[in-house]
Structure 1
């Protein structure tokens, strides 16, 4: 931890102590209090305390005595920074709070502390971590908040080329969901450095910063903190102007409390409304748009938010969408010609069904500059989010055609070396050919990247041409399962079901083996229909079929000849009419699906489906799009015989491993892999797959 960080930590501790003292004082007097008001009061007192120290100690080394009336300094600061502290959203409640002797004592201790005098806050976001940790879980969920590490903020600004040179002077930058101002702080600091090189007067620098950096957030406390964060960046300018007696008025900062996604707001005269609708002085758009937009899944959205998104972004808000795609669309809409956008977003964007319309728009109408896969990093320690960074440039014309090459890189483990990873170049037109315009990251190793690219581009078939994979039985409401699933075949007409046990997991389906746990289902379609929970046709489960696990570290599939019913943790796959006209059969297709190469390809292409513990989320659309080799008649016969052997329940561990390797060898050969390419696949798969026990090998 740097010396500055230690000093900031001291200040943060002051905030927490003040917050506790306010709560204790109000609780002891048996008064009800609003927790957000307490939070706000604590911020105001803490911030003003630090400003006093910066303003009156940094230059004149004034000794603080306990007789000093602290309110005098607060009033003085209010006169100078009236727009920050009295902009209508916040009361000067701290003038009352400060009379509490216990709080006054805390402040005096802080002001007298030698360690905390003069904090260099250039480029520092003082409040983001406090803001995130101070909000309760419900508020975080509602706002979709995730703290953005400083290294990521700097990296995104670098990606869009917002650097400390003349290129950013007279350019506008916007964060449409600015939070406490992480991106705004760094932007102001970089612009300040660039403007100082222009040899301008302090007042002109102040004016240019004010008219270049814009932020919007729906939370008033976040807006307050963003403004205050910016204030710390330009504080030296104020001290200079104040001493020169040329500071007559504080220019209002362009950080607004507004709903960025409500383009149809009634407040049409506000600056924020003009920003999001590109009206008047904002018709040309923004040169840079950056940020970490909120992530809120459809199922967690309140009705009003969902309705607002659909009304304002009808082209993309379909199905179970996430709110971050609205911010991407808004950002693209607000970009000027040649403007650049840089966001950190969930990796689901690359392959989710709800984002396919937006992916297509980006691929066909914009230039992707860089895609950085952070899904295997530890960036969000306490969040179930697997992030990516994407930077995009607006073309001069939508009809230019896709000529763009961009860089794809992958970061694993620590993110400290993120700037050093160069990435793999890929032509954007490549993703025109993927199903639903899937976008995916490539390995950083050039040989491995070329292998994945070649297998996708040159494979003659897709798995979906030979196998139709379908969803199975779902119970959409609590308590429905108990009305259909039992541990006994009560009337003799029930069917065996896989996945019937409540919270039983998917261990009944191994690779090449079924281990039924004894659950039965009353497959009464009429009853299910009456309960608004329709079952698929029984024909889906009759006769031969392949069963595939929905969540697993590698593809786990088995051939079923008994007619098991399957719950939706398993998919049911049947051969297509096209397959009937070939010499392919279930055993051959199963051997291809269960091979290491197919698991490798799914992991590499659809890494955005990763869930916790490196498990992959397998889905029909993605599985259908996997490459499928052209097999010779000899290879088909060999695979058929080997599959029959490996499916035997009594097979030994030694024999299973031997046959599994023989199958993999045939598949490698069918796809045309060289020895060094086989080594790549084997090394990758073995890195997260145990081969010690038969039960693990089957997983």
Structure 2
């Protein structure tokens, strides 16, 4: 049971009035309350230990003095004390004095901070909080009894410690190990006995645990949380307000040099959850500095998280361990090519846990990877990969790593992972993928053009239905059928009831009264579009109308995001939205490959397996069909193209007929049965074309269902 629940309710009531204010105001109020909570709870701890008397306690909680408090209270620049009312202070003091010493020891400012910060504020701050079960797993992967018995001065650093979640868990783990193995540690390291007499907690905080963060308030939370764990009064946590990415030996590590037990400024473990900040959110000057120091892993379009891999390498001992949980984006992004090369050549990658599209962070749309490495030679190294395959209704996924129904386990050679992008699949899948690639005759990018659909810049202005067209007597010359992502099925186009006003065909809007009257209410909004502000578009034109000729000819269309391959042909003149892409065969290739043959390949299980091996998974069952991956597929052309063409045309016709019947009617079942037979015929065609064995077909089916 959460013993702090009544306390949390009281704090929530204090914050409630601020909920409707701006985000920054709410965040500042949370910090103000937590600062005072941290002050009062630490003073209460000192008072319970008889380290201060009642008057000292009163002066400290009133802010009249910082005596007896750690230096972090003198360094806090923001005057939190003046921002609180006497009522708020009174409620906090009252609730904290109700806590016993055990409850105070378990107190975590970081946990409270996460409790009161909502998804809205997290996105504003760019903060991601690691689930506690994942933190436990990562710590267990890096430190155990043996490490501490062999070396009681084992050094662990979280370079972006935030609210101290990793540091607090590390403390608890180390305290357990020291207690459990106390005699063995003394026996193996007799010189340490005198230090441990001053307290195990004090020893751990001053010798084993290190943290940095650029946020002073985060360092404050981490410091207070650790200090509350120990009975000893004079304890100095190794947690610093520093931008570790830009530190050199004369700054942070000059501090470390003063510690006689810290040798060569190197750590045994670097652990954490580096911040995910894309290039667009990084100040230009700061980005230049990162490129200067981390040019071999970081470029102008990289994520700041990439730099923490190199920094981790720099501050690790030889054979030291690095374990991060990071967005899986780095494993496949073109901007991370140099990072992947750095990891491959400077670390032995022990383990990768790929959550493969599953979003494990609360309120944040990021699917992560846990990567564990050893600093040093990677020759002949094998990587243990655990890839999530089933997350349905499963809590605490990390506890299910050894469950083969949830995570698939396989080993890959480190030398086989490519700098162009990591394809994390088992050996059998890799052999099959290579077979399909090697049998291909044409790369799609060489035989096709691919274009994105229309970006209107304001759908309300340009997208209309039949009723609106009729009521407003809109000029049909500029009205075109409009296809959305949801309208696309395999071999079929579901009925559309929307149309687009293709105003790029209009030279002078004043000559077309009905259309002008329809869109003029949106003029102010349309004028604010980037292209209009730059005078590249007239106010009434589409933001990106594309080359109209793209939509005239027969074409294959497909959704940008989908659970599976969904391609169909549109023979007539229809336009589509920006969440749809368009494929057209190049003129010089049309005598070799038909649109129907290409469609059959794209909808085949062979193609789906091929794409899902190299494509980007962005949700539990959702893939990103972005052309930069799709257009790299290689197509094998068989002899009987006409046969395939006829089957595809028949399928398209049957799907069109199917819409006329209710699923309960006999004719519906008859058509559906023929569709299934024809689709199976095409599947067999491509299985035979690629000379696939029964075992290989089974691999394909297991990987796409």
TM score, norm. by length of structure 2: 0.74
1:186 to 165, 169, 179: 169
- In the TM superposition, 1:628-667 aligns within 5 A as 628=635, 630=636, 632-634=638-640, 636-648=641-653, 649-650=656-657, 652-667=671-686
Q: Which moved more, 1:669-678 or 1:478-487?
A: 478-487
1:174 and 2:157 are equivalent in the alignment? yes
Shift of 1:161: 4.8
1:260 and 2:244 are equivalent in the alignment? yes
- In the TM superposition, 1:138-153 aligns within 5 A as 139-153=121-135
Stretches of structure 1 that go unaligned for 5 or more consecutive residues are 1-5, 26-31, 243-249, 276-280, 443-448, 500-504, 687-699
For 1:621, the equivalent position in structure 2 comes to 628
1:599 to 608, 629, 634: 608
1:10 partner SS: coil
1:647 partner SS: helix
1:670 to 683, 689, 692: 689
Shift of 1:224: 0.9
Rounded Cα–Cα distance in structure 2 between residues aligned with 1:282 and 1:510: 63
Task: Provide, for residues 146-185 of structure 1, a one-character-per-residue CA deviation record: whole Å limited to 9, x for no partner.
Answer: 2212221122223345666335533432212111111112
1:551 to 523, 536, 561: 561
1:227 and 2:223 are equivalent in the alignment? yes
1:217 and 2:187 are equivalent in the alignment? no
Q: Which moved more, 1:223-232 or 1:453-462?
A: 453-462
Contact 1:52 1:73 (8 Å CA) reproduced: no
2:411 partner SS: strand
Rounded Cα–Cα distance in structure 1 between residues aligned with 2:588 and 2:207: 63
2:452 partner SS: coil
Contact 2:33 2:84 (8 Å CA) reproduced: no
Root-mean-square deviation (CA, aligned residues, Å) is: 4.5
2:361 partner SS: coil
Rounded Cα–Cα distance in structure 2 between residues aligned with 1:46 and 1:641: 79
Shift of 1:369: 1.7
2:383 partner SS: strand
Contact 2:290 2:298 (8 Å CA) reproduced: yes
1:423 partner SS: strand
1:39 and 2:33 are equivalent in the alignment? yes
For 2:571, the equivalent position in structure 1 comes to 561
Contact 2:321 2:374 (8 Å CA) reproduced: yes
Shift of 1:227: 1.1
TM score, norm. by length of structure 1: 0.74
For 2:148, the equivalent position in structure 1 comes to 165
For 1:83, the equivalent position in structure 2 comes to 71
For 1:71, the equivalent position in structure 2 comes to 58
1:456 to 416, 433, 439: 433
For 2:402, the equivalent position in structure 1 comes to 420
Rounded Cα–Cα distance in structure 2 between residues aligned with 1:23 and 1:535: 46
Rounded Cα–Cα distance in structure 2 between residues aligned with 1:669 and 1:286: 56
Shift of 1:598: 2.6
Q: Which moved more, 1:348-357 or 1:171-180?
A: 348-357
Rounded Cα–Cα distance in structure 2 between residues aligned with 1:23 and 1:548: 46
Rounded Cα–Cα distance in structure 1 between residues aligned with 2:274 and 2:107: 17
1:508 and 2:508 are equivalent in the alignment? no
Structure 2 CA distance for partners of 1:162 and 1:615, relative to 1, 3 Å:
same
1:392 and 2:397 are equivalent in the alignment? no
Contact 2:213 2:244 (8 Å CA) reproduced: yes
Structure 2 CA distance for partners of 1:79 and 1:11, relative to 1, 3 Å:
farther
Shift of 1:425: 0.3
Contact 1:261 1:326 (8 Å CA) reproduced: yes
Shift of 1:226: 0.8
1:134 and 2:119 are equivalent in the alignment? no
How many residue pairs match? The answer is: 617
Shift of 1:289: 1.3
Structure 2 CA distance for partners of 1:263 and 1:269, relative to 1, 3 Å:
closer
Shift of 1:76: 14
Rounded Cα–Cα distance in structure 1 between residues aligned with 2:294 and 2:87: 53
Structure 2 CA distance for partners of 1:37 and 1:391, relative to 1, 3 Å:
closer
1:14 and 2:17 are equivalent in the alignment? no
1:587 and 2:606 are equivalent in the alignment? no
Contact 1:348 1:609 (8 Å CA) reproduced: no
Stretches of structure 2 that go unaligned for 5 or more consecutive residues are 19-24, 187-192, 257-261, 509-530, 538-542, 659-670
For 1:430, the equivalent position in structure 2 comes to 416
1:340 and 2:321 are equivalent in the alignment? yes
Task: Provide, for residues 480-530 of structure 1, a one-character-per-residue CA deviation record: whole Å limited to 9, x for no partner.
Answer: 99579998797777584644xxxxx41333222335543352456999895
